[in-house]
Amino acid sequence: MLPVTQRVALIGSGFIGQVHAANLAAHPAARLALVCDLDAARAEALAQRYGARAAQVSEALKRDDIDMVLIASSTPTHADFLAQAVRAGKAVYCEKPIDLSLSKARAVVEQLMPLQVPVTVGFNRRFDRSHQQLKQRIQQGAIGAPELIQMVCRASEMPSLDYLRASGGQMRDQAIHFFDLLRFLTGDEVESVGALGAALALPAIREFGDVDTSVIIMQLRRGALAQLDNARRTAYGYDERISVAGSQGMLASEPQSLRGATLYQADGITQPGLFPDWFSRVRDTWYAHLDAFLRQLGGETVADLPGLMDGLQAQAIAEAACESLTSGRFVRVERLS
């Protein structure tokens, strides 16, 4: 099947916007046509790099020759741009979360769902090959029913204080990917959440109620238990891993290292280190997610694309985790789907 080319307007030309621009330029079924950003000079520079044109968001949404909008702007703008793009009939790839406010995100989703415009939310970790294989083996019954899930997300370096101040906090920014992965892998919903957190790597974030180190315990609807530990900073590289123990065995998506030889000597074994940062590990997942969405827009049936309700339910888990951090008690997760 020949690819159907989607003419794309990119909103946001910061770090993630630049990642998406490179992927759009590299994909045979996409053409980056417009780049929109409040920083006009930055938008112009990115547009010129890929043969596109800088424009205002209002222009991008009005144009009949724009088929798809990719929202990679700052989080507080996501919901409004998403609503405008869907109402304009554009297919939308929207970075997570839909909004920092769960109530606003829910209101927007309720308004947009009846319009039946294709939307995917940026949970690109679903497209990690190891995690996808893990899901496939679970579905095949390799370990029986999942009973105990252990998840680890430990970044190598702290983001900037400015980034953290606007991020919505560790639950909404970092852990939310793994709340979505838990639902994706198990096909189950989280019933209750208990969270403990501390600001150990950067105490200054306590000023705006954030944590950089946390442990989250969750119970799923069918009874399985899950644990997620998050860290914003390690001293040994980027560490992401998931294990799922079931009634007939265990499956694991292990930490991945850089390519390198393992050295065996009489006094010990030296193995190559982990990826130095999170981006090195997950870089390819953005392209894989984009590819899956473009294939769907081209008429192919694609499983496991995260949609509006996935974005909303993962955010509901994050909100419950935030409440648990503050209250010190387990919190039931609002069921939105």
Instruction: Over range 149-159, report the average pLDDT.
Output: 95
Residues in the chain: 337
Domains, the chain, ordered by start: 6-117 (3.40.50.720), 128-278+312-332 (3.30.360.10)
Which whole-number Å values give the CA distances from 313 to 77, 96, 119, 175, 176, in the listed order?
20, 12, 15, 13, 10
Q: What is the pLDDT of residue 261?
A: 64
Give the pLDDT confidence of 197-225 residue by residue, as tens digits. 999 999 999 999 999 999 999 999 999 99
Residue pointed to by tokens 């998840």: 151
- Could you tell me which residues come within 8 angstroms of residue 279 by beta carbon, excluding any fewer than 6 positions away? none
Q: Above pLDDT 90, what percent of the chain?
A: 87
From 45-59, 96-110, 144-158, 264-278, the region with the lowest mean pLDDT: 264-278
Residue pointed to by tokens 């997570």: 96
Q: Above pLDDT 70, what percent of the chain?
A: 97
pLDDT band at 40 (very low <50, low <70, confident <90, very high): very high
* 172 or 272, higher pLDDT: 172
Q: How far apart are CA 22 and CA 32, in angstroms?
A: 9
Instruction: Over range 176-202, report the average pLDDT.
Output: 97
Answer yes or no: is pLDDT of 336 > 90: no
Q: What is the pLDDT of residue 258?
A: 66
What pTM, to 2 d.p., does this model score? 0.92
Q: What is the pLDDT of residue 250?
A: 95
**What average pLDDT does the chain have?**
94
pLDDT band at 270 (very low <50, low <70, confident <90, very high): confident
- The answer to whether the beta carbons of residues 228 and 318 sit under 8 Å apart is no
Q: What is the pLDDT of residue 272?
A: 72
Q: DSSP letter string over 186-252?
A: HS--EEEEEEEEE--S-GGGGGGT--SEEEEEEEETTS-EEEEEEES--SS--EEEEEEEETTEEEE
